[in-house]
Structure 1
Amino acid sequence: MSSSGIPRGGPPLTEREAEDLLRCICFKTGPPRTVGVELEWLVHELRDPRVPVPPPRLAAALDDVRSVPLVSSLTFEPGGQLELSSLPAGSLTECLDALAADLRAVRSVLGSHGLTLSGYGVDPWHSPRGRMLHEPRYDAMEAALDRTGPAGRAMMCESASVQICLDAGVEEPGPLGYHRRWQLAHLVGAVLVAAFANSPLHGGRRTGWRSTRQALWTNLDPLRTLAPSPDGEPRAEWAAHVLDTPVMCVRADEGPWEVPEGLTFRDWLRTGLPRPADAEDLRYHMTTLFPPVRPRGHLELRMVDAQPGRDGWMVPVAVTTAVFDDPEAAERVYRAVKPLAERAGAGPAPRNPLWLAAARDGLADPELHAAARAVFSAALEALPRIGAGEELRQAVAAFHERYVIPGSCPADDFEVVAS
């Protein structure tokens, strides 16, 4: 630890040491047993979410939320979005119950301030939304992403998501193997984008995308948001991707952090400039990569828009967990979505034709519609096998009937929905 509190990871890394470290920490294999969720929410005026919340009022409310005892980890995004991250849970039900209890406590505090949590992939009305967090990380992130255009600031301050965290899988081949689950995530991921798209408005106008949030991620950065090839050996592909992606920032003990342009982590290791990189720098660099599926020992599926309603977020978590962790469903879904690989082509997600169609067209796309019907059918059959309760199964069935069967998504019947 440096005198400024920035962790230091020991002596300078060599390129070989960095590759070995990445291979060791990014896919931790074993039988799938745990599930976790990270929920991001926009915070809006309770009576009329179209009315902007003055920053001092929002800051005071968020300060009160910090005092609430929670099981989940509570953090805030740069624009004041609230994030709850569950602990790894031993079952889907345990995970959902713990998060739901924390959400009730948070909503109660916000309600006393006349505010509420709103589930949209991007803020439909308030753009541009100013940054509330002024920290070296976000100062550097803003400077780096501004080089590409306005999508970076919108992502930082105006977006929200449901992120599902599942174990990487076992070493052996088969439906629960980590290589298969890595491939499945990049195909099912596009189906999840399409089925749960919930951000057709931005700045009060329709954008032409069912998931404007996904469109923002697509345009955010030339490399930082891309997936490596899902077809190669996952550890090798991910290690190369991490090392060959430009560094967002070089942390400093004092003053603003340097924001180099075009310096990959591999270049940094080879040159030792602007200072030698260590293991903690590598770990930090990985937190500045935003692919749709990020391996962090487990798999972090990052592609789902925040969902409408108080409990709408539970449906994508349940569907995803069921089709990954139930072996029968995983095999069935893999066979159903495997043909989508031809549509994706050789380009990386989320910038390939499959993912672009998912974000733009949702389930109006015939291939994605057919795939979604197969995914939800398998999930509905698997949920009882993984211990899901009747109420959750009914919620998934209701979503299936309302959206998936007719080929729709929440963006298609968009209305003001505050939790």
Structure 2
Amino acid sequence: MSDVSSRSRTRPLTTAEVNPRLRGVCFKTGPPRRIGVELEWFVFDPRNPKGPVGPSRLTVAYAALRRLALRSTLTFEPGGQLELSSPAATSLSQCVGQVAEDLSQVRAVLRTHGLALAGHGHDPWNPPRRILTAPRYRAMEAYFDRRGPEGRSMMCATASVQVCVDAGTEGPGPLGYRRRWRMAHLLGAVLVAAFANSPLRRGLPTGWLSTRQAVWSSLDPGRALAPASGPEPRQAWTEYVLDAPVMCVRREEGSWEVPRGLTFRGWLDGAGPRRATAADLDYHLTTLFPPVRPRGHLELRMIDAQPGEDGWIAPLAVTAALFDDPTAAETAYRAVRPLAAAAGTGPAPRNALWEAAARGGLADPGLRSAAVSCFAAAQEALPRLGASAAVRRAVASFAERYPGSGRCPAEDLLDAVPVAARRTVPEVAVAGAQSPAGEGRP
């Protein structure tokens, strides 16, 4: 970074500079040609699959993983979840191939430490515990604790498949960024329902097929709900960012400040402990967690982590096909557009449509009908996108087993729960709100 650009990131930021920065950087438009995926996993010991892995053991294994030469970026979440973020690929096949190779290396190293990866949207066995001690995570924990325990569950006990697609073009039609933004928030509910995979907490049903989504919908609405709907996503996102609470003010030394009642707009106006900079804005954006996040591309954050070694391929392939193949995109939009009435006026994920998806999966007739249409459109599009036979088989198998039968992976987990144990955990305990003797506290 040049001295000039470095100084521009640390000098005080003006309100006039924010709009073009958010509009141009967060919604960078152009013909869709790139795809990416971020995979989060729980790490477990196959000899004791329901028990937590000790922090010291994870530290040793993760040090070995950091020595790998991966194309994906390897990071770790506060509760020890492992995350692989693929580089931007120019095709679905390239994305799948690169991530599969990286996962193969990661699994091989973990095996030497007696560990393996598990795909669940929410830890089905253990309470949340924070392992990482970086200032960011201490500040996040302090911020979320003011509202209740849901933040700790989000940070330490959830995992997802996040699919990244280009924002789209400036023009109208199925590849235009306005259409893609709107479709993402309607299709998102279908993806929640079809790929729900987190019905358990402490081994018992929670009353939700996607407990992960229940947790996320309970978080601070200023940073976890979708921006206001409207014809211009760029303006809605700009207002959302400015009105969102500031989670923390970073310091070079010591604990970071966690202010109360400070929005980024207020910080720009001089209300913070110091003047906000461009670097502060960039960091503020990383602390916002709506279900669809614009980052120069659209990051779809609503899909539960999936079971099996290759379960992540189906949500990646289906989402890519429905966004990047014009015919499939048009079909999908027609399929999900009627769901807008079911959503009501509330923002995702805290509206009737998204709640129905998280609670009941594809039991809702409208969600099931949309899912069947969208999966069929995706399957027709995959050959046009050059998807391999293996990818096409993965999607076809999932479509037949789940949407075609009105089911989702969560129901397989529920089927395995002994009948005598099938009492539902009180819903207030879904995110750890009722817990014995300090459960959920590190």
1:73-222 matches, within 5 Å, as 73-128=73-128, 130-222=129-221
Question: Is 1:29–1:170's contact at 8 Å kept on the other side of the alignment?
Answer: yes
**In structure 2, how many angstroms separate the alpha carbons of the residues matched to 1:285 and 1:303?**
20
Describe the shift of the 1:197–1:7 C-alpha distance in structure 2 as closer, same or farther (beyond 3 A): farther
**In structure 2, how many angstroms separate the alpha carbons of the residues matched to 1:270 and 1:415?**
51
Cα drift, residue 415 of structure 1: 6.9
TM-score (norm 1): 0.96
Cα drift, residue 11 of structure 1: 2.0
Establish whether residue 397 from structure 1 lines up as the match of residue 379 from structure 2.
Answer: no
**In structure 1, how many angstroms separate the alpha carbons of the residues matched to 2:328 and 2:301?**
21
Question: Is 2:165–2:298's contact at 8 Å kept on the other side of the alignment?
Answer: yes
Q: How many residues align?
A: 412
Deviations 1:182-224 (A, max 9, x none): 0010000000000000000112221100000011100121321
Question: Is 1:182–1:230's contact at 8 Å kept on the other side of the alignment?
Answer: no
Secondary structure in structure 2 of the residue aligned to 1:9: helix
Cα drift, residue 247 of structure 1: 0.4
Match of 2:52 in 1: 52
Deviations 1:213-272 (A, max 9, x none): 011100121321011123330110000000001000011122111101111100111125
CA RMSD of aligned residues (A): 1.5
Match of 1:258 in 2: 257
Cα drift, residue 8 of structure 1: 7.6
Cα drift, residue 409 of structure 1: 0.1
Secondary structure in structure 1 of the residue aligned to 2:366: helix
Cα drift, residue 7 of structure 1: 9.5
Q: Aligned partner of 1:339: which letter?
A: P
Match of 1:407 in 2: 406
Question: Is 2:222–2:243's contact at 8 Å kept on the other side of the alignment?
Answer: no
Question: Is 1:176–1:325's contact at 8 Å kept on the other side of the alignment?
Answer: yes
Match of 1:385 in 2: 384
Match of 2:354 in 1: 355
Describe the shift of the 1:305–1:343 C-alpha distance in structure 2 as closer, same or farther (beyond 3 A): same
Q: Aligned partner of 1:227: which letter?
A: A
Q: Aligned partner of 2:251: which letter?
A: A
Secondary structure in structure 2 of the residue aligned to 1:68: coil
Unmatched runs of 5 consecutive residues or more in structure 2: 417-442
Q: Aligned partner of 2:117: which letter?
A: L
Unmatched runs of 5 consecutive residues or more in structure 1: none
Match of 2:37 in 1: 37
Deviations 1:54-96 (A, max 9, x none): 2211211111111111111100001111000100001000000
Match of 2:425 in 1: none
Match of 2:17 in 1: 17
**In structure 1, how many angstroms separate the alpha carbons of the residues matched to 2:414 and 2:388?**
29
**In structure 1, how many angstroms separate the alpha carbons of the residues matched to 2:404 and 2:307?**
19
Match of 2:290 in 1: 291
**In structure 1, how many angstroms separate the alpha carbons of the residues matched to 2:204 and 2:266?**
42
Question: Is 1:186–1:230's contact at 8 Å kept on the other side of the alignment?
Answer: no
**In structure 2, how many angstroms separate the alpha carbons of the residues matched to 1:167 and 1:296?**
9
Q: Aligned partner of 2:125: which letter?
A: W
Describe the shift of the 1:342–1:328 C-alpha distance in structure 2 as closer, same or farther (beyond 3 A): same
Secondary structure in structure 1 of the residue aligned to 2:384: helix
**In structure 2, how many angstroms separate the alpha carbons of the residues matched to 1:242 and 1:114?**
43
Match of 1:280 in 2: 279
Establish whether residue 333 from structure 1 lines up as the match of residue 313 from structure 2.
Answer: no
Deviations 1:300-320 (A, max 9, x none): 000000000000000000000
Secondary structure in structure 1 of the residue aligned to 2:269: helix
Match of 2:435 in 1: none
Dislocated runs of 4+, deviation >3 Å: none
Q: Aligned partner of 1:46: which letter?
A: P
Q: Aligned partner of 2:46: which letter?
A: L
Question: Is 1:165–1:298's contact at 8 Å kept on the other side of the alignment?
Answer: yes
Q: Aligned partner of 2:343: which letter?
A: A
Secondary structure in structure 1 of the residue aligned to 2:70: coil
Match of 2:423 in 1: none
Secondary structure in structure 1 of the residue aligned to 2:258: coil
Secondary structure in structure 1 of the residue aligned to 2:133: coil
**In structure 1, how many angstroms separate the alpha carbons of the residues matched to 2:303 and 2:386?**
23
Secondary structure in structure 2 of the residue aligned to 1:262: coil
